[in-house]
Structure 1
């Protein structure tokens, strides 16, 4: 199977697939395979894993249908398998209310692990938009990401782009009081303050 024959999108629908993509190591393996096929040895080198660990994680991804063998070759009597993503992009289900967002959790872990002296652009903006503006901005961000993905050169260093456009939970929905604190947290703060006053 050639990488040219890959479908555009793989939809994660089963618990097995979701567990496979939720793991940070496997997330990083998929990032390696996103641009070009690689063997277990090459994956291990690029992700910084032992070869046995690399093989284990790739097997789990393969069993979940997220990666596939796209070609093989014989090297000194041993068959080397080249793995690639099962599709050009992976679509995760929306997390339920109060559930962690797998994609953002892995992205934050990658950001925190990135070199502190490397160039990075991180920004948060608070906006007030109509439904039409919200939809338009989401579409523009996705189009921009697709445009630069099409320009990506596998020979260049990896770059990650993450964006999240969402409506934050309102205080009454998030269990917050009028001042933006959780009632139980406010109670804990008052207890600490009283304890500090007693100590004085």
Structure 2
């Protein structure tokens, strides 16, 4: 199924879906399927899993409605299934105050596992913004991510962009350890 025929989003609403996306291995499988369909064998090779483990995780994602079979073909008497994402993007529920953010945990795990290369960009900036500036920056960051997602070519190497724009929880002046913000 071409990407343009996919629904824009799937909202994660059930416990089964939340469990499926909360697992780092399944997160990496969905990353493989982001741009093009793949077989269990192809997924296993890209993620570095045994075929049996890959099959298990794909079945859980399929049961949760997050991936689906988009085509099949016979290969030496065996039916080979090609899996793809069930939508262009997945919207997770807000974690709640103080709760774990699944996307950020997966992003940090992927970042820590990524090779350190000159192209890798990691930055944290502390800003002081008006409500209007905060909203504008969020809009611009989302538009930039969408623009580059549209330019993505499955033939090119993977790249991940993660951003979090948020207002930190209020702390006493200087924070808990007495150190000020640089």
Same fold, TM exceeding 0.5? yes
2:30 aligns to what?
A: 30
Distance 1:124 1:69 in 2: 39
Q: SS at 2:53's partner residue?
A: helix
Higher helix share: 1
Q: Map 1:16-165; keep pairs closer than 5 Å.
A: 16-165=16-165
**Contact (CA 8 Å) 1:3, 1:70: kept in 2 or not?**
no
1:5 aligns to what?
A: 5
Structure number, greater radius of gyration: 1
Distance 2:36 2:94 in 1: 28
Q: SS at 1:150's partner residue?
A: helix
Long gaps (5+) in structure 2: 178-182
**Contact (CA 8 Å) 1:3, 1:84: kept in 2 or not?**
no
Long gaps (5+) in structure 1: 172-176, 183-200
1:16-64 Cα shifts (integer Å, max 9, x gaps): 1111001000000000000000000000000000000000000000000
Distance 2:118 2:64 in 1: 34
In the TM superposition, what is the alpha-carbon distance from 1:181 to its structure 2 partner?
2.2
**Contact (CA 8 Å) 2:3, 2:35: kept in 1 or not?**
no
Distance 2:57 2:48 in 1: 13
1:137-177 Cα shifts (integer Å, max 9, x gaps): 10100000000011111011100000000000002xxxxx6
Aligned length: 177
Q: 2:175 aligns with which of 177, 180, 187?
A: 180
Deviates more, 1:131-140 or 1:99-108: 131-140
1:195 aligns to what?
A: none
